[in-house]
Structure 1
Amino acid sequence: MHNHFELFGLAPDFALDPEALERSYREIQSRVHPDRFAHAGDAERRASLQWTTRVNEAYRTLTDPVQRAKHILELHGVDVAFETNTRMPPDFLVQQLELREELEGAVSGKDAAALERLRADLVGNRQALIRQIGEAIDSRKDYACAAGLVRKLMFLDKLDEEIEAAYEHVE
């Protein structure tokens, strides 16, 4: 497994400096981008394309909080089979059901203001979870706790997608 943090010369922390990541990304891209190898041999062009693909994948991973957390957990040997391991605390699941009922009510009532309130609450909850993930990973090194928080964040991101799609039915 590739360590995306090493590729960019960054510490493997959840709380990363986005400007440092961006600088490193642009610097690496300036060296490996396929445009620089347009007149090179086939092997060099292929290598450039492979490096560009790797750099882009690493950048996307580190800029997305869920993917960044998953990557850190994998680096620490934590099984992140989130798609198959969906165990969640019952109170969280009840909350998710209630939020989805609110979403359905907003859609059926064509209530854009209710969607906005739901999204605003979601944004606040998402930011709080991201802070908690950072504390679990960076401060406490509690990777099992972080894995549970990442699963919660994935639920919220899925709900956000559903809210976004719901706007089509409300407007």
Structure 2
Amino acid sequence: MNYFELFNLPATFDVDVAELSTRYRELQKTAHPDRFANASEQQKLLAVSRTAQINDGFQTLKDPIRRAEHLLEMKGVELQNETQTVKDTSFLMQQMEWREALEDISRSGDEDEADKLERSFKQYRADITHALQDLLAKDDVAATQSAADHVRKLKFMAKLQDELVRIQDAMYD
């Protein structure tokens, strides 16, 4: 299923989330199962299925990582259940530094260091996201493979961010 077609949006990484939300509400109005309360069982099941499809499409397109995965899937690259890791040595070294910083913050409870690390994560994600947007706009195999690596990096960064949030929550409790 091409969710961009479902929402009548161009298949690009840069999505107008406000427009996406508007189209989501419009689609929900037409397909909501309550509208089919007096319909046949088959029509009710189709409405439920269509609503689930609309919900999944909305969740996919509003999340940058899932949106990028969807765009890559449309180009024949499946990332959702893969086990391949990033082979970028500098990124692997950076991962180790970030993990050590998380451990240090967890032990010390240093709020300033936690804030500093959070800014570092945010800047890195912004840089990767910008590069990803450019790569996804290209239509060649090398750019697509590089885009897949960028998505893998963003997925890793999301896990690091979640870990940092858990540490910060524990510090502020």
Q: Assess same fold via TM > 0.5.
A: yes
Residue 78 of structure 1: SS of its match in structure 2? Answer: coil
Q: Which residue pairs with 1:24 in the alignment?
A: 23
Q: Which residue pairs with 1:66 in the alignment?
A: 65
1:80 and 2:74 are equivalent in the alignment: no
For structure 1, the residue ranges without an aligned partner over 5 or more in a row are none
Q: Which amino acid aligns with 2:75?
A: H
Quickly say closer, same or farther: Cα 1:82–1:127, change in 2 above 3 A.
farther
Whole-Å Cα distance in 1 between the matches of residues 90 and 123 of structure 2?
18
Q: Which residue pairs with 2:148 in the alignment?
A: 147
1:15–1:138 Cα contact (<8 Å) kept: no
Quickly say closer, same or farther: Cα 1:69–1:77, change in 2 above 3 A.
same
| Aligned-pair identity (%) | 34
1:82–1:151 Cα contact (<8 Å) kept: no
Q: How does 1:109-120 map to 2 (within 5 A)?
A: 109-120=108-119
**Which deviates more from structure 2 when the two are superposed, residues 64-73 or residues 75-84?**
75-84
1:133–1:149 Cα contact (<8 Å) kept: yes
CA positional deviation for 1:11 = 1.1
1:168 and 2:166 are equivalent in the alignment: no
**Which deviates more from structure 2 when the two are superposed, residues 54-63 or residues 9-18?**
9-18
Whole-Å Cα distance in 2 between the matches of residues 127 and 83 of structure 1?
24
Q: Deviations over 1:119-165 (max 9, x none)?
A: 12111211121111101111565211111111111111110010011
Q: Deviations over 1:13-61 (max 9, x none)?
A: 1112212211211111110012222333322221111111000001111
Could you state the TM-score of these two structures normalised by the residue count of structure 2? 0.91
Q: Which residue pairs with 2:50 in the alignment?
A: 51
Q: Paired residues, what number?
A: 170
2:86–2:153 Cα contact (<8 Å) kept: no
Whole-Å Cα distance in 2 between the matches of residues 151 and 89 of structure 1?
11
Q: Which residue pairs with 2:125 in the alignment?
A: 126
Q: Which residue pairs with 2:98 in the alignment?
A: 99
For structure 2, the residue ranges without an aligned partner over 5 or more in a row are none
Could you state the TM-score of these two structures normalised by the residue count of structure 1? 0.92
Quickly say closer, same or farther: Cα 1:14–1:108, change in 2 above 3 A.
same
Whole-Å Cα distance in 2 between the matches of residues 81 and 56 of structure 1?
18
2:118–2:164 Cα contact (<8 Å) kept: yes
* RMSD (CA atoms): 1.6
Whole-Å Cα distance in 1 between the matches of residues 104 and 139 of structure 2?
40
2:7–2:23 Cα contact (<8 Å) kept: yes
Whole-Å Cα distance in 2 between the matches of residues 97 and 82 of structure 1?
24
